């Protein structure tokens, strides 16, 4: 989905960058990866997610870092 266009401007909409660092260790306590703070479900579904869903995941991960 990296080449999705914005109907208004017809420019490619950049795909959100995954917070994953390929060092996944999901905590049994929090349920989040200790490296990127994604849940296992988010990790598995990342590639099939829309750009909007990816933005939500990234924002949730940023909030989890602060917990």
Six-digit token string for 39: 């849940």
Six-digit token string for 9: 């401007």
Mean pLDDT computed over 37-42? 96
Give 5 or 50, the one with higher predicted confidence.
Answer: 50
2 has pLDDT over 60? no
> How crowded is residue 7: how many other Cβ atoms within 10 Å of its Cβ?
5
| C-alpha closest to that of 40 among 15, 20, 62 | 20
pLDDT at residue number 13? 77
Mean pLDDT computed over 31-54? 96
Give 13 or 21, the one with higher predicted confidence.
Answer: 21
Mean pLDDT computed over 20-44? 95
Tokens 């306590």: give the residue. 29
Separation of first and last alpha carbons in the chain: 31
Give 19 or 66, the one with higher predicted confidence.
Answer: 19
């Amino acid at each position: 989905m990296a080449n999705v266009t914005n109907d208004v401007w017809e420019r490619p909409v950049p795909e959100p960058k995954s917070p994953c660092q390929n060092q996944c260790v999901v905590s049994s306590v929090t349920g989040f990866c200790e490296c990127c703070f994604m849940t296992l479900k988010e990790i598995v579904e990342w590639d099939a997610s829309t750009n909007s869903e990816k933005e939500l995941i990234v924002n949730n991960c940023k909030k989890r870092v602060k917990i």
